[in-house]
Amino acid sequence: MVVATAPDVLDTLADCLESGDTMLAALDKVAKASAATASWAHHVRQTVRADASAAQVLRASNVLDDDELCLLSAEDPAAVASTLRAVALRRRRSVARVRAIRWGLVAPFGLGALTVVLDPLPHLITGEDYVWPVLRGLLVLLVLAVAVFAALPAVLRRPRVLRLCTAVPGIRRLAALYGEEELVTAFVPFVDRLDRGEVRAAGFTAAASLLAWSPLGDALRAPAPAVASPSGPLATGGLELLARRLSLATHLAIVGGMASKRLAERLAQRGEAIALLLTARLRLVARMGAYTLVILFSISSLAGMIARGIPGMSLIPGGATSPDEKQLEELLKQLQ
Q: Report the number of distinct structural domains present in the chain.
A: 2
Cα 163 from chain centroid (whole Å):
14
Residue 117 resides in a domain: yes
CA dist 108 and 148 (Å) reads 13
> 79 lies in a domain?
no
Residues 43, 95, single domain; the answer is: no
The predicted pLDDT at position 275 comes to: 93
The whole domain housing 217 covers 88-309
Same domain, 52 and 95: no
Q: Is residue 333 part of a domain?
A: no
The residue out of 63, 78, 107 marking a domain boundary is 63
Together in a domain, 46 and 95: no
The pLDDT assigned to 269 comes to 93
Q: Which pLDDT does position 46 carry in this prediction?
A: 85
Residue 23 CA to residue 50 CA, distance in Å, equals: 10
**Same domain for 177 and 108:** yes
* 281 found inside a domain: yes
Give pLDDT tens digits for 34-66.
899 999 998 888 887 767 788 888 888 888 888
Cα–chain-centroid distance for residue 208? Answer: 20
Residue by residue, DSSP assigns 308-326 as H-EET-TTSTTEE--HHHH
pLDDT at residue number 125 = 66
Q: What are the CA-CA distances from residue 199 to residues 27, 94, 203, 227 (Å)?
A: 30, 25, 6, 5
Residues 199 and 238 in one domain: yes
Indicate the residue type of 131: V
Domain-embedded: residue 320: no
| Residues 108, 296 contacting (CB under 8 angstroms) | no
Tell me, yes or no, whether 71 lies in a domain: no
DSSP code at position 241: G
Predicted confidence at residue 308, as pLDDT, reads 60
303 shares a domain with 239: yes
Rounded (10°) angle between helices 54-61 and 77-118: 30
Position 194, amino acid:
L
For residues 49 and 138, state if they share a domain.
Answer: no
What is the percent of the chain with per-residue pLDDT over 70, rounded to a whole number? 79
Determine, yes or no, domain membership for 331: no
Q: Say what the pLDDT of residue 258 is.
A: 81
Question: Which residues in the chain come in under a pLDDT of 70?
Answer: 50, 73-78, 123, 125-127, 193-197, 222-244, 304-329, 336
CB atoms within 10 A of CB 184: 26
CB-count exposure of residue 101 (10 Å: 0-12, 13-18, 19+): buried
**What residues are paired with 13 via a beta bridge?**
none
Distance in angstroms (rounded) separating the CA atoms of residues 16 and 18: 5
Instruction: List for the chain the helix, strand, coil content (%; round to 5).
Output: 70, 0, 25
Q: Are residues 247 and 111 in the same domain?
A: yes
Same domain, residue pair 196 and 131: yes
Are residues 103 and 40 part of one domain?
no
128-151 burial, b at 16+ Cβ within 10 Å, e below that, comes to eebeeebeebeeebeeebeebeee
Q: Are residues 57 and 97 in the same domain?
A: no
Is residue 282 within 8 Å of 306, Cβ to Cβ?
A: no
Q: Is residue 51 part of a domain?
A: yes
In whole angstroms, what is the distance from residue 33 CA to residue 207 CA? 33
* Three-state secondary-structure class, residue 199: strand
Q: Please check whether residues 148 and 266 belong to one and the same domain.
A: yes
